[in-house]
Amino acid sequence: MHIFDPDVNFACSGIIAQGMGPAVGAALSRKMRGLPGVAVAFVGEGAVNQGGWHEAMNLAAVWNLPFICVIEDNAWGISVAKETSSAVTNNADRAAAYGIPGKRVEGNDPYAIYEAAGEAIARARAGEGPSLLEFETYRLAGHFMGDAEGYRPKGEKDALFEKDPIPKMRARLLADGVASEDELTAIEGESAARVDAAITFARESADPAPEDALTRIFAA
Ligand SMILES: Cc1ncc(C[n+]2csc(CCOP(=O)(O)OP(=O)(O)O)c2C)c(N)n1
Ligand SMILES: [Mg+2]
Protein backbone atom coordinates (compact mmCIF):
# COMPACT_ATOMS: atom_id res chain seq x y z
CA MET A 1 0.00 0.00 0.00
CA HIS A 2 2.82 2.42 0.85
CA ILE A 3 4.46 2.01 -2.51
CA PHE A 4 6.86 4.56 -3.96
CA ASP A 5 8.91 4.68 -7.15
CA PRO A 6 11.02 7.80 -7.79
CA ASP A 7 11.92 6.49 -11.28
CA VAL A 8 8.36 7.19 -12.44
CA ASN A 9 7.51 9.93 -9.89
CA PHE A 10 4.90 7.76 -8.18
CA ALA A 11 3.93 7.71 -4.53
CA CYS A 12 1.04 6.17 -2.63
CA SER A 13 -0.15 6.25 0.95
CA GLY A 14 -2.62 4.30 3.04
CA ILE A 15 -4.00 7.55 4.46
CA ILE A 16 -7.11 8.77 2.67
CA ALA A 17 -6.55 12.03 0.71
CA GLN A 18 -2.98 12.22 2.02
CA GLY A 19 -1.58 12.37 -1.51
CA MET A 20 -3.32 15.66 -2.30
CA GLY A 21 -0.86 17.92 -0.46
CA PRO A 22 2.31 16.33 -1.86
CA ALA A 23 0.83 16.30 -5.38
CA VAL A 24 -0.08 19.99 -5.19
CA GLY A 25 3.41 20.60 -3.75
CA ALA A 26 4.97 18.78 -6.71
CA ALA A 27 2.95 20.96 -9.10
CA LEU A 28 4.05 24.10 -7.22
CA SER A 29 7.67 22.95 -7.39
CA ARG A 30 7.44 22.45 -11.17
CA LYS A 31 5.86 25.86 -11.64
CA MET A 32 8.41 27.67 -9.44
CA ARG A 33 11.35 26.00 -11.20
CA GLY A 34 9.86 26.57 -14.64
CA LEU A 35 9.85 22.83 -15.38
CA PRO A 36 7.26 21.04 -17.49
CA GLY A 37 5.08 18.35 -15.93
CA VAL A 38 1.62 17.84 -14.51
CA ALA A 39 0.92 16.43 -11.05
CA VAL A 40 -2.05 14.07 -10.73
CA ALA A 41 -3.63 12.92 -7.46
CA PHE A 42 -5.97 9.90 -7.53
CA VAL A 43 -8.51 9.62 -4.71
CA GLY A 44 -11.69 7.69 -4.00
CA GLU A 45 -15.13 9.32 -3.73
CA GLY A 46 -14.83 8.76 0.02
CA ALA A 47 -11.78 11.05 0.21
CA VAL A 48 -13.43 14.25 -0.93
CA ASN A 49 -14.86 15.12 2.47
CA GLN A 50 -11.45 15.21 4.11
CA GLY A 51 -10.41 18.75 5.10
CA GLY A 52 -7.02 18.31 3.45
CA TRP A 53 -8.68 17.54 0.12
CA HIS A 54 -10.41 20.94 0.06
CA GLU A 55 -7.32 22.81 1.25
CA ALA A 56 -5.19 21.26 -1.49
CA MET A 57 -7.83 21.91 -4.18
CA ASN A 58 -8.12 25.52 -3.08
CA LEU A 59 -4.37 26.18 -3.17
CA ALA A 60 -3.98 24.45 -6.54
CA ALA A 61 -6.62 26.82 -7.91
CA VAL A 62 -5.36 29.98 -6.18
CA TRP A 63 -1.81 29.32 -7.42
CA ASN A 64 -3.05 28.20 -10.86
CA LEU A 65 -0.96 25.02 -10.72
CA PRO A 66 -0.49 22.23 -13.30
CA PHE A 67 -2.53 19.83 -11.18
CA ILE A 68 -5.34 17.34 -11.80
CA CYS A 69 -7.40 15.61 -9.15
CA VAL A 70 -8.96 12.35 -10.34
CA ILE A 71 -11.81 11.01 -8.22
CA GLU A 72 -12.54 7.33 -8.76
CA ASP A 73 -16.19 7.05 -7.74
CA ASN A 74 -16.78 3.35 -7.12
CA ALA A 75 -19.89 4.05 -4.98
CA TRP A 76 -18.39 2.65 -1.77
CA GLY A 77 -15.81 3.65 0.86
CA ILE A 78 -15.24 0.33 2.65
CA SER A 79 -18.81 -0.24 3.98
CA VAL A 80 -20.04 3.35 3.58
CA ALA A 81 -22.28 4.03 0.58
CA LYS A 82 -21.52 7.27 -1.22
CA GLU A 83 -24.95 8.78 -0.58
CA THR A 84 -24.50 8.41 3.18
CA SER A 85 -21.26 10.39 3.22
CA SER A 86 -21.78 13.05 0.52
CA ALA A 87 -24.78 15.28 -0.15
CA VAL A 88 -23.42 15.90 -3.66
CA THR A 89 -24.02 13.17 -6.25
CA ASN A 90 -21.72 14.62 -8.87
CA ASN A 91 -18.37 15.45 -7.28
CA ALA A 92 -17.29 17.27 -10.43
CA ASP A 93 -19.79 19.97 -9.32
CA ARG A 94 -17.40 20.74 -6.48
CA ALA A 95 -15.00 22.25 -9.04
CA ALA A 96 -17.20 25.37 -9.00
CA ALA A 97 -16.06 25.99 -5.42
CA TYR A 98 -12.51 26.47 -6.69
CA GLY A 99 -13.33 28.23 -9.95
CA ILE A 100 -11.89 25.41 -12.08
CA PRO A 101 -13.38 23.03 -14.68
CA GLY A 102 -14.90 19.78 -13.45
CA LYS A 103 -16.15 16.82 -15.43
CA ARG A 104 -17.87 13.54 -14.53
CA VAL A 105 -16.97 10.83 -17.02
CA GLU A 106 -18.01 7.21 -17.69
CA GLY A 107 -15.23 5.52 -15.74
CA ASN A 108 -15.63 2.10 -17.34
CA ASP A 109 -14.73 3.46 -20.78
CA PRO A 110 -10.95 3.88 -21.22
CA TYR A 111 -11.49 5.97 -24.37
CA ALA A 112 -13.68 8.48 -22.51
CA ILE A 113 -11.09 8.62 -19.74
CA TYR A 114 -8.28 9.16 -22.28
CA GLU A 115 -10.16 12.05 -23.85
CA ALA A 116 -11.07 13.78 -20.58
CA ALA A 117 -7.55 13.30 -19.19
CA GLY A 118 -6.06 14.67 -22.42
CA GLU A 119 -8.12 17.87 -22.11
CA ALA A 120 -7.12 18.37 -18.48
CA ILE A 121 -3.43 17.67 -19.20
CA ALA A 122 -3.42 20.08 -22.17
CA ARG A 123 -4.98 22.75 -19.97
CA ALA A 124 -2.39 22.22 -17.22
CA ARG A 125 0.48 22.24 -19.73
CA ALA A 126 -0.79 25.48 -21.26
CA GLY A 127 -0.54 27.16 -17.83
CA GLU A 128 -4.33 27.37 -17.48
CA GLY A 129 -4.42 25.68 -14.07
CA PRO A 130 -5.97 22.66 -12.39
CA SER A 131 -8.94 20.46 -13.30
CA LEU A 132 -11.17 18.07 -11.40
CA LEU A 133 -12.22 14.80 -13.04
CA GLU A 134 -14.58 12.22 -11.60
CA PHE A 135 -14.70 8.76 -13.17
CA GLU A 136 -17.88 6.86 -12.42
CA THR A 137 -17.37 3.16 -11.89
CA TYR A 138 -18.37 0.50 -9.36
CA ARG A 139 -16.48 -1.63 -6.85
CA LEU A 140 -17.19 -5.20 -7.92
CA ALA A 141 -15.11 -6.84 -5.18
CA GLY A 142 -15.03 -6.45 -1.42
CA HIS A 143 -12.85 -3.77 0.14
CA PHE A 144 -10.34 -6.41 1.24
CA MET A 145 -9.79 -10.14 0.73
CA GLY A 146 -12.32 -12.02 2.82
CA ASP A 147 -14.73 -9.05 3.05
CA ALA A 148 -18.15 -10.68 3.65
CA GLU A 149 -19.82 -7.51 2.23
CA GLY A 150 -22.78 -7.80 4.61
CA TYR A 151 -23.33 -4.05 4.25
CA ARG A 152 -24.05 -4.27 0.52
CA PRO A 153 -27.64 -4.88 -0.61
CA LYS A 154 -27.84 -8.44 -1.94
CA GLY A 155 -27.66 -8.62 -5.72
CA GLU A 156 -26.64 -4.95 -6.08
CA LYS A 157 -23.52 -5.75 -8.02
CA ASP A 158 -24.76 -8.78 -10.01
CA ALA A 159 -25.85 -6.78 -13.05
CA LEU A 160 -22.77 -4.56 -12.87
CA PHE A 161 -20.25 -7.25 -13.79
CA GLU A 162 -21.14 -6.74 -17.44
CA LYS A 163 -19.76 -3.20 -17.11
CA ASP A 164 -16.38 -4.48 -15.87
CA PRO A 165 -13.99 -2.40 -18.00
CA ILE A 166 -11.22 -5.00 -18.29
CA PRO A 167 -13.09 -7.73 -20.24
CA LYS A 168 -15.00 -5.00 -22.10
CA MET A 169 -11.77 -3.36 -23.26
CA ARG A 170 -10.32 -6.74 -24.20
CA ALA A 171 -13.34 -7.47 -26.39
CA ARG A 172 -13.16 -4.03 -27.97
CA LEU A 173 -9.46 -4.31 -28.82
CA LEU A 174 -10.17 -7.64 -30.51
CA ALA A 175 -13.25 -6.35 -32.35
CA ASP A 176 -11.40 -3.24 -33.58
CA GLY A 177 -8.45 -5.36 -34.75
CA VAL A 178 -6.07 -3.41 -32.52
CA ALA A 179 -4.59 -6.60 -31.05
CA SER A 180 -4.90 -10.35 -31.60
CA GLU A 181 -5.94 -12.94 -29.03
CA ASP A 182 -2.30 -14.13 -28.85
CA GLU A 183 -0.97 -10.62 -28.29
CA LEU A 184 -3.46 -9.95 -25.49
CA THR A 185 -2.71 -13.29 -23.85
CA ALA A 186 1.01 -12.48 -24.03
CA ILE A 187 0.44 -9.04 -22.42
CA GLU A 188 -1.62 -10.65 -19.64
CA GLY A 189 1.14 -13.22 -19.07
CA GLU A 190 3.84 -10.52 -18.92
CA SER A 191 1.77 -8.46 -16.46
CA ALA A 192 1.17 -11.48 -14.21
CA ALA A 193 4.90 -12.30 -14.32
CA ARG A 194 5.83 -8.73 -13.29
CA VAL A 195 3.42 -8.89 -10.35
CA ASP A 196 4.77 -12.32 -9.33
CA ALA A 197 8.36 -11.02 -9.52
CA ALA A 198 7.46 -8.00 -7.37
CA ILE A 199 5.80 -10.23 -4.76
CA THR A 200 8.81 -12.55 -4.70
CA PHE A 201 11.14 -9.53 -4.34
CA ALA A 202 9.08 -8.18 -1.42
CA ARG A 203 8.89 -11.56 0.32
CA GLU A 204 12.60 -12.25 -0.09
CA SER A 205 13.83 -8.77 0.91
CA ALA A 206 15.05 -8.21 4.45
CA ASP A 207 12.87 -6.16 6.79
CA PRO A 208 14.13 -2.58 7.20
CA ALA A 209 16.02 -1.84 10.41
CA PRO A 210 14.05 0.27 12.96
CA GLU A 211 16.57 3.13 12.62
CA ASP A 212 15.80 3.31 8.87
CA ALA A 213 12.54 5.05 9.84
CA LEU A 214 14.64 8.13 10.68
CA THR A 215 16.60 8.32 7.41
CA ARG A 216 15.88 9.84 3.99
CA ILE A 217 12.84 11.72 5.28
CA PHE A 218 13.96 15.11 3.98
CA ALA A 219 16.33 13.86 1.27
CA ALA A 220 16.34 15.77 -1.99
C1 LIG B 1 -7.54 9.39 7.08
C2 LIG B 1 -8.05 7.97 6.99
N3 LIG B 1 -9.22 7.64 7.57
C4 LIG B 1 -9.70 6.39 7.49
C5 LIG B 1 -8.98 5.43 6.82
C6 LIG B 1 -9.52 4.00 6.71
N7 LIG B 1 -9.94 3.76 5.33
C8 LIG B 1 -9.22 3.00 4.49
S9 LIG B 1 -9.93 2.87 2.96
C10 LIG B 1 -11.24 3.85 3.45
C11 LIG B 1 -12.36 4.16 2.48
C12 LIG B 1 -11.89 4.80 1.23
O13 LIG B 1 -12.96 4.97 0.36
P14 LIG B 1 -12.75 5.71 -1.00
O15 LIG B 1 -12.08 7.02 -0.78
O16 LIG B 1 -14.08 5.75 -1.67
O17 LIG B 1 -11.70 4.79 -1.79
P18 LIG B 1 -11.90 3.31 -2.37
O19 LIG B 1 -11.30 2.38 -1.36
O20 LIG B 1 -13.35 3.08 -2.62
O21 LIG B 1 -11.11 3.35 -3.66
C22 LIG B 1 -11.11 4.25 4.76
C23 LIG B 1 -12.09 5.08 5.49
C24 LIG B 1 -7.74 5.81 6.24
N25 LIG B 1 -6.99 4.94 5.56
N26 LIG B 1 -7.30 7.08 6.31
MG1 LIG C 1 -14.80 4.43 -3.07
pLDDT one-digit tens code per residue, 152-169: 999 999 999 999 999 999
Of ligand 1's atoms, which has the minimum distance to the CA of residue 143? 19
Per-residue pLDDT band at 5 (split at 50, 70, 90)? confident
Active-site entry in 143, 152, 170, 172: 143
Answer yes or no: is 201 within a domain: no
* Domain tally, the chain: 1
Answer yes or no: is 89 within a domain: yes
CATH number at 74 reads: 3.40.50.970
Answer yes or no: is 63 within a domain: yes
Per-residue pLDDT band at 219 (split at 50, 70, 90)? low
Active site residue 139: yes
- Rounded to an integer, the average pLDDT of 129-145 is 96
- Rounded to an integer, the average pLDDT of 2-20 is 90
Active site residue 151: yes
d(CA 28, CA 21): 10
Ligand 2 mean position to 145 CA, how many Å?
Answer: 16
What pLDDT sits at residue 134? 98
Per-residue pLDDT band at 2 (split at 50, 70, 90)? confident
Does this model's pTM top 0.85? My answer is: yes
Can you give the residue range of the structural domain that contains 37?
4-146
Q: Judge whether residue 151 has pLDDT over 80.
A: yes
Active site residue 143: yes
d(CA 212, CA 220): 17
Q: ∠ CA(64), CA(70), CA(76), 5° rounding?
A: 140
- Rounded to an integer, the average pLDDT of 31-59 is 97
What pLDDT sits at residue 213? 84
Answer yes or no: is 21 within a domain: yes
Buried b (16+ CB within 10 A) or exposed e, 135-149: bbbbbeeeeeeeeee
Answer yes or no: is 185 within a domain: no
Answer yes or no: is 186 within a domain: no
Helices 181-204 & 165-175, crossing angle to 10 degrees?
140
Ligand 1 mean position to 167 CA, how many Å?
Answer: 27
Answer yes or no: is 102 within a domain: yes
| Mode of pairing for the β-strands spanning 10-11 and 4-5 | antiparallel
Answer yes or no: is 214 within a domain: no
3-state secondary structure of 173: helix
